[in-house]
Structure 1
Amino acid sequence: MDQDQTVTPQFEANGDVRVPAFTLPISRLVSEEAAAAQRLRATVPPVDTTGIDAAPLRRQQINAYMAPSIAKLRETFAVEIEAKTIGGVPVLDVTPSDGGHDPDRVLINLHGGAFTVGWDGVALVETIPMAVLAGMRVVSVDYRMAPEHRHPAAIEDVAAVYAGLLQDYAPGRIGIYGGSAGGVLTAQTAAWLAAHGLPQAGAIGVFGAGGVPFEAGESAYVTGYIDGAFPPPPADGSAPPDITKGYFNGIDADDPSAWPAYHLDVLARFPPTLIITGTRSIDLSPAIYTNSQLIKAGVRSTLIVGESMGHCYYYNLALPEARDAYDAIVAFFRENLN
């Protein structure tokens, strides 16, 4: 479609901007693989979530969707996966099959899935490659989710697993990471540990998320129209649908245990942090804001923004951009878990 070069944004007196329709071309800065993936999206029908309200059904569907990716990952990365319990919480303990992982360092994974789904399909996508690429044991937590549970149930479960691992690992050698809801939960956990008398972890990775709600910044609007993975907030200014199915019901919008990036005193107790997002990701604004706040609080924070990348793009290891992200993640944890 031809672009009308005479059309410009309209700026309203209240600060709103009326954005004209435009065509966004494929970035010339992305890999050929990423460009091909974007062209392929024209053949993919939109996801229809109508009527999918039953938690067990949603969880089954997510796991079925992830199954082909997991099978492919297991062909590429040889791992041992053991279901066990740590601190009274179910976990998956993932290690490289060759047994050559670092005996002194461990990673805790917090899976994505909007605090409602993701166990164990998303968890395996996030842990299988990490265990092999990092050469570390990865413990993925089956934390409590909505609609059955409410905040801070998930953090309590993560803290219990963390306390259990402290029996075998020094806190500075424990890393915590997660994508999407798991990225939010990672930031929440760093705030929780410091506030509840537990020694801080050595480093954290907040991927596809930040320490504030997804809809807090303008990226929710922009990426809603250029990416489509998540719909933009309602045009009438009403609250967007709650994808967490009530997980944060009753929690104050400024609660530091839920949204630590609003509080510099809380962030000041964070360990070194790696944040990963993309220019087409709903979490771009939360990630940028959280990184800026961490730096303001005096914490070492590194922000990686993938050009033209969507939400949790690092899941797709067929993309060079995703492989670059994993290289950065592995290097970050190896450097900071001392």
Structure 2
Amino acid sequence: MEEQQPAKPVFQPNGDVHVPAFVLPVSDLLSEPAAEAQRRRATVPAFDAAGGDVDTATRREQINAFMAPQIARLRDMFAVNIEKAELGGVEVLDVTPADGSHDPDRVLINLHGGAFTVGWDGVALVESIPMAVLADYRIVSVNYRMAPEHRHPAGVEDVASVYAALLEDYAPGRIGIYGGSAGGALTAQAAAWLPAHGLPQAGAVGIFGAGGVPFHAGESAWTAGYIDGSFPPPPADGSELEDITKGYFDGIDEKNDPSAWPGYHLDTLATFPPTLIITGTRALDLSPAIFTNSQLLKAGVRSTLIVGESMGHCYHYQVTMPEGRDAVDQIIAFFRENLA
């Protein structure tokens, strides 16, 4: 019997591609722990990252409950002091190594993920605890204002307030800013906002699981929706995309407001400090990350892009997985090099 050949993609006159159904094998470039994690997805219930119709207050509780076991593991692995404080009138978590050994001259501002609606303080702690110990830095995680209660630029205004307060104790070139997912996008906004509002630029920024353009920009929202499944793909019928930010960017002209999406504006990007961008081949944010890196290079900024093979959204959160730990090690090396 003649072997059946796989179906081929069909290209439409308008450039669309009809992609046939296919089986995507586990990558043979993965570490065994990462490959095993992919095999387990067949039996582990999917976590609905978009949130569905659950009200925001409940959703915030759900996210923190989901993160709680990971935070417990991280606290067993990394001894830290966590203090609630206020800087510039904004609530923060001040995370430092428990032995008091952190660098006294440098600090990192963390901006947590959570679609501009959730993530405080569960996601903030997942992003801050390992970094404090592994980097030997003080981490200041910001409880920035989110939707549905607030709209852009509330979040970046809060970041600027914390940053201005830290300038009383740190040189700007020794302050780094980083975040994942919404926090990655907010990091890009902060890099655009600070010099545009009379503040000195930070020493370096890390944009992880995001870019300087919206998450739905480009084709990765489609591919990740069908391959990774953490976020749904755009509607196939062309109907309006679900707004997972719950209106945070209502009224914003996506391509013409550099305070929201600086990736479209080379003159704004030219003011950025050295930038590290991390994404994955299965990540929703792959296209925004690639585009933002290319735009930064075009604008003359030193930008580095890391793309994790077969990795999904914000894989650097998984520090117990070799690929995640490799990403964290590169983040630390980047800040050590650039916060001179």
TM-score by length of 2: 0.97
What is the distance in 2 between the residues matched to 1:237 and 1:229? 20
* Counterpart code for 2:91: P
What is the distance in 1 between the residues matched to 2:114 and 2:258? 22
TM alignment of 1:190-201, pairs within 5 A = 190-201=191-202
* Counterpart code for 2:23: T
Deviation at 1:50, TM superposition (A): 4.1
Query: What do you get for the CA RMSD once the two structures are aligned?
Result: 1.0
Aligned twin of 2:176: 175
TM alignment of 1:144-155, pairs within 5 A = 144-155=145-156
Using a 3 Å threshold, how does the CA distance of structure 1 residues 127 and 14 change in structure 2: closer, same or farther?
same
Alignment of 1:224 onto 2:225: yes
Deviation at 1:269, TM superposition (A): 0.4
Using a 3 Å threshold, how does the CA distance of structure 1 residues 43 and 197 change in structure 2: closer, same or farther?
same
Aligned twin of 1:287: 289
Identity of aligned residues (%): 75
Of 244, 258, 261, 2:260 maps to 258
Deviation at 1:43, TM superposition (A): 0.3
What is the distance in 2 between the residues matched to 1:216 and 1:24? 24
Structure 1, unmatched stretches of 5+, are none
Alignment of 1:317 onto 2:319: yes
What SS does the corresponding residue of 1:148 show, helix, strand or coil? Answer: coil
What is the distance in 1 between the residues matched to 2:53 and 2:211? 29
Aligned twin of 1:209: 210
What is the distance in 1 between the residues matched to 2:295 and 2:240? 25
Of 273, 284, 291, 1:271 maps to 273
Aligned twin of 1:301: 303
What is the distance in 1 between the residues matched to 2:314 and 2:236? 26
* Counterpart code for 1:133: L
What is the distance in 1 between the residues matched to 2:42 and 2:283? 18
What is the distance in 1 between the residues matched to 2:46 and 2:213? 27
TM-score by length of 1: 0.98
What SS does the corresponding residue of 1:34 show, helix, strand or coil? Answer: helix
Deviation at 1:45, TM superposition (A): 2.2
What is the distance in 1 between the residues matched to 2:303 and 2:160? 22
- CA-to-aligned-CA distance 1:101-152 (integer Å, 9 cap, x gap): 0000000000000000000000000000000010000000000000000000
* Counterpart code for 2:99: D
What is the distance in 1 between the residues matched to 2:274 and 2:63? 32
What is the distance in 2 between the residues matched to 1:137 and 1:73? 17
Aligned twin of 1:122: 123
What SS does the corresponding residue of 1:159 show, helix, strand or coil? Answer: helix
What SS does the corresponding residue of 2:30 show, helix, strand or coil? Answer: coil
Using a 3 Å threshold, how does the CA distance of structure 1 residues 175 and 50 change in structure 2: closer, same or farther?
closer
Aligned twin of 1:7: 7
- CA-to-aligned-CA distance 1:12-60 (integer Å, 9 cap, x gap): 00000000000000000010000000000000223354431x2111100
- CA-to-aligned-CA distance 1:177-232 (integer Å, 9 cap, x gap): 00000000000000000110100000000000000001101000001000000000
Structure 2, unmatched stretches of 5+, are none
* Counterpart code for 1:163: A
Query: After TM superposition, which residue ranges in structure 1, 4 or more long, deviate above 6 angstroms?
Result: none
What is the distance in 1 between the residues matched to 2:274 and 2:142? 21
Aligned twin of 1:91: 92
Aligned twin of 1:110: 111
What is the distance in 1 between the residues matched to 2:23 and 2:323? 23
What SS does the corresponding residue of 2:245 show, helix, strand or coil? Answer: coil
Using a 3 Å threshold, how does the CA distance of structure 1 residues 171 and 236 change in structure 2: closer, same or farther?
same
